[in-house]
Structure 1
């Protein structure tokens, strides 16, 4: 069985494009995961993407996760609610000053609490100043991402409210698959 999936690509081409969301409150902090950890990254990936069918990284071996996380200009920023991971944003530097927001989202229990807009704002700002933390990288000229019809119902609106603009739309057929989330059935 297959499903029709629409994928939208969005971008910002100037730091001035970013329209930050209000901060959700003192209990929410965003911290960079300073040590690349495949185990922690896989936890975040499955916890955030399990119910919305993220599958592209599920087959990666430990070494492949390590290689992806260790690339210069790759960063993971994690939102915490009173010490508990609530969601994350993963950035990846690319050629010609582009930075992709490769993954972004919240663990289901933390959705609908005004954390997502703040985390996206924070992560986008970190994409714009990425070269300041990575000597040798070109300054950021473009921040981009993609979202799709499998993502949460508020994803596209959040991206547009943060100042991202649509630049491409594609539709494809994908096999319908069950994803394990943090554990089977989650």
Structure 2
């Protein structure tokens, strides 16, 4: 299948256009929770992590340059945000809500929290990518929060 990948960035925390606050917080993820949420969120969108082997998961979950946070709504795990820190940049490598929280109007504020946390690492740039295989609201939400496209590419993706 073909997909178009859009890469977006912010170069200043002032670029962030915050969404209306919702009852969400970010808490550090344990490896087990990180993996479980990644699979629940990513499977419908064919994320590459869905097909990881055990050694790949071990490396991914214990990467010293990555930080993962659970997006929580009260006592419930609503989503996941993961960051890779490199060369004074932060890449948001994972952002998403679990299926039962999709469609509740929480994505914009969840992204606001995710981007605020990214800027707390004091990078010169925050960036991420999305694909036409992701949720249809992903790209509009990213743009509404102030992320700007800097590259697109179309590629062939193997079906899972």
Superposition TM-score, scaled by structure 1 size:
0.80
Helix, strand or coil at the partner of 1:175: coil
Superposition map of 1:137-148 within 5 A: 139-148=122-131
Asked if 1:13 is matched to 2:8, the reply is no
Q: Which ranges in structure 1 are unaligned for 5 or more consecutive residues?
A: 131-138, 178-186
Q: Which runs of 4+ in 1 moved over 4 A?
A: none
Q: Answer whether contact 1:98 1:143 (CA < 8 A) is retained.
A: yes
Superposition map of 1:98-177 within 5 A: 98-130=89-121, 139-177=122-160
Structure with larger Rg:
1
CA displacement, residues 113-151 of structure 1 (integer Å, 9 cap, x when unaligned) = 122111111111111111xxxxxxxx4000000000000
Superposition TM-score, scaled by structure 2 size:
0.92
Which of 28, 35, 38 is matched with 1:32 structurally? Answer: 28
Alpha-carbon separation, structure 1, partners of 2:116 and 2:73: 20
Name the structure 2 match of 1:90.
82
CA displacement, residues 48-85 of structure 1 (integer Å, 9 cap, x when unaligned) = 11111113453232x54343333344211211223111
Alpha-carbon separation, structure 2, partners of 1:128 and 1:81: 22
CA displacement, residues 6-35 of structure 1 (integer Å, 9 cap, x when unaligned) = 00000000111111111123xx332222x4
Q: Answer whether contact 1:86 1:107 (CA < 8 A) is retained.
A: yes
Alpha-carbon separation, structure 1, partners of 2:110 and 2:57: 23
